Amino acid sequence: MASCAVQKNPYATTNRSYQQQVKAYAEALRATPVLTPGADSLLMGQYWVGTTNFNMRKPNIVVIHHTAQDSTGQTLRTFTLPRTQVSAHYVIGRDGRVYHMLNDYLRAWHGGVARWGNDTDINSSSIGIELDNNGLQSFAEPQLASLLKVLAGLKKTYNIPTANFIGHSDIAPSRKTDPSVLFPWKRLADSGFGLWYDAGPLPSPDPAPPLPLDSLVALAGVGAVPGTVLAPVNTAVIDAQLAAANAPVSTFKPQEALRIIGYDTRNLPAAIQAFKLHFIQQNVNGPLTEADRRILFNLYKKYL
């Protein structure tokens, strides 16, 4: 008899809570607007007219985390306690087991205060994936294999752009450092999940040196006669001529490049650290080196 007993689901109680919340949201979706909301409201039409052309809103970003906890079980418990106020769509254990904790169309609480480009509500536009890892250990091969399968399904189902597979540290550079420097971002990029810089020697991000004064004068159409005083140079004309010739007029700006990629650069040192954590993965607390600048310049052009 003991061998025939059905093992009790330890998450039965929280699963019931999930079903109750989903039911409440379903009822809210089925509700139709009130036609007479009150004298102080907008003038409503005679009928409520429901369009026949709609579907579910879908995620457009995938954010990868490490749990910073000691086991998958600990993380599952954390995400099923109301007082923690934190969750994710997927939790992937070190053994490769995948726990899909929330419907992809619902909003998980995984990003916190975050920003990517102009998106300041990451939770409303993203899928959160937590990898069981304390932040000090390598990511297990079964875990990474399962992650790649999950990412492939998400990319295909929701048509998520390649560039929009990012890490928690990317969207919250002043607060978070996950996933750690041990996370294999290049392996993901090689599979189509996230961008990566080109292999081999990269060109310097610094453009050609500025033209000398006599060249600028020539571009502006000012005649230079030996022994005479030059008239003031019309800089507006010079800028127009340079632009028409596609000539560089300013040096490469790392802060602007980081912003174009998506980083919140209001805290520039934190943005640099997040960039190096993702793409350099060594000396992440140091300033940008010449090699780092070349990589940044290469990626910046890819994100344009």
Give the pair of three-digit tokens for residue 211.
């033209």
**Neighbouring C-alpha atoms within 13 Å toward the C-beta of 189:** 16
Q: What are phi and psi of 129, to 5 degrees?
A: -125, 120
CA 87, 127, 278, 205 torsion-angle sign: negative
Kindly compute the dihedral angle of the four CA atoms of residues 142, 148, 149, 151, in this order, to the nearest 10 degrees. Answer: 140
Q: What are phi and psi of 119, to 5 degrees?
A: -85, 115
Sole residue written with tokens 């809210």: 28
Pairing of strands 126-131, 90-92: parallel
Q: Which residues pair with 165 in a beta bridge?
A: 62
Where does residue 106 rank: exposed (0-12), middle (13-18), buried (19+ CB within 10 A)? middle
Given a contact cutoff of 8 angstroms between Cβ atoms, the answer to whether 68 and 168 are in contact is: no
Q: Which amino acid is at 84?
A: T
Q: Which candidate in 27, 130, 141, 290 is catalytic?
A: 130
Given a contact cutoff of 8 angstroms between Cβ atoms, the answer to whether 202 and 294 are in contact is: yes
Whether residue 130 lies in the annotated active site: yes
> CA of 204: how far to CAs of 60, 199, 298, in Å?
33, 14, 9
Where does residue 232 rank: exposed (0-12), middle (13-18), buried (19+ CB within 10 A)? exposed
Q: Which residues pair with 237 in a beta bridge?
A: none
Distance between CA atoms of residues 301 and 181, nearest Å: 24
Q: Which residues are catalytic?
A: 130
